[in-house]
Amino acid sequence: MIVRTHSIDVLFIIAPHSLLLDIAGPAEAFRLANLHRGAQGLPPRFRLRFAGPVTKVPTSVGLALVDLEPLPPRLGPPTWVLLVGQPTAHATQTTPTISATAHWLNRTLYEPLRAADTQHRLITICSGTLLAARAGLLGTRRCTTHHELLPALRILAPRAQVVDNRVFVVDGPVASSAGITAGIDIALHLIAEECGEALAATVAEDMVVYLRRSPRDPELSPYLVHRRHLHAAVHRVQDAIVAKPERDWDMAALAALGHATERHLLRLFVDHAGVSPLRYLQSIRLERARQSLECGASVTRAAAVAGFRSGLQLRRAWNRQWGGSPRDAARAAGPVSRWGPPP
């Protein structure tokens, strides 16, 4: 168990029309971490603070937040500054309030984030990364945001290494995430770093987070990417594949589940899911193998768990899909560096 005694200020910066779940999701994760530390006889690790350019703001759902702290003139170490997102219609506008917040961020965080031994962090959720870019805080670091806002982020931060299709990205003291629920994922990741994996897992269980995602997970999960349709038979077949990808599926078995002929099921999948049944099966098997490798499984074991006939079959499918080999991915799944070099 990781035991650290000094507290961390988690300073939420809340602009008008901020997404309410961007605030509440991570805040609840940090609150629960403190609760479980207390049950172990440990002091609270996180001190939640909520500040903004004005003291009262409407949120994305109309509920107003009041009595916000003013933006502090300086940060008392250590402080994690958390920038929450806004709906796209607001996030892409540079209002006087946003400009003032960006100037405060640059004045307060620019130099601390460049220091090799900094105790501060910058955490961005969804379009909060755009605000960090406007403040000039990203430099050449790796970062991400919601997939709809990636082009805007590239314009605002032309030197940054903008990463597509990732739940969140951690580069030194800068951590950025893709969307609303990804704020919970990034909070759990940081809780694990500070308080240990066991405590973070307990928090995830409390929050009924079915699968804790890592910085290597894609924003558009293979479990979801072909599910944006309403056809019941196709969903029924997809549910069966996801539940048991290791089963020896063939088109006849899948067609029986869909109560269709093999030819008709193929047509339904292509029309509604945009992919053939067997290609969908392979994508789910590859994802299951990738998750097994990240949990320490051998290539042979990962292949068996995912439904490949052998490690060689997994290697061939992996190379066709992503290039390289599953063994490279297993090595890359080591612990993420806590701090990286300044930009």
Q: What is the pLDDT of residue 296?
A: 82
Low-confidence ranges of the chain (pLDDT < 50): 1-3, 335-343
How many CB atoms are located within 10 Å of the residue 31 CB? 15
Q: What is the pLDDT of residue 157?
A: 97
3-state secondary structure of 156: helix
Q: What angle do CA 18, 24, 30 make, to 5 degrees?
A: 130
Q: Are 85 and 168 in contact (CB under 8 A)?
A: no
Instruction: Return the CATH number of 8-206, one of 3.40.50.880, 3.20.20.370, 3.40.50.720, 3.30.910.20.
Output: 3.40.50.880
How many CB atoms are located within 10 Å of the residue 46 CB? 23
Q: What is the pLDDT of residue 211?
A: 54
How many DSSP H helices and E strands does the chain contain? 14, 11
Q: What is the pLDDT of residue 216?
A: 61
Peptide bond into 96 cis (omega under 30): no
* Domain residue extents for the chain: 8-206, 232-332
Tokens 């945009």 -> residue? 274
Specify the CATH superfamily of domain 232-332: Homeodomain-like (1.10.10.60)
Which of 303-307's residues contact partners 24+ apart within 8 Å by CB, and which partners?
304/246, 305/246, 306/245, 306/246, 307/245, 307/246, 307/247, 307/248, 307/249, 307/281
Q: Are 293 and 333 in contact (CB under 8 A)?
A: yes
Which amino acid, 71? L
Question: Which value, to the nearest 10 degrees, does the dihedral of the CA atoms of residues 90, 93, 98, 100 take?
Answer: -160
Q: What is the pLDDT of residue 309?
A: 93
Nearest to 128 by CA among 204, 200, 52, 190: 52
Q: What is the pLDDT of residue 166?
A: 85
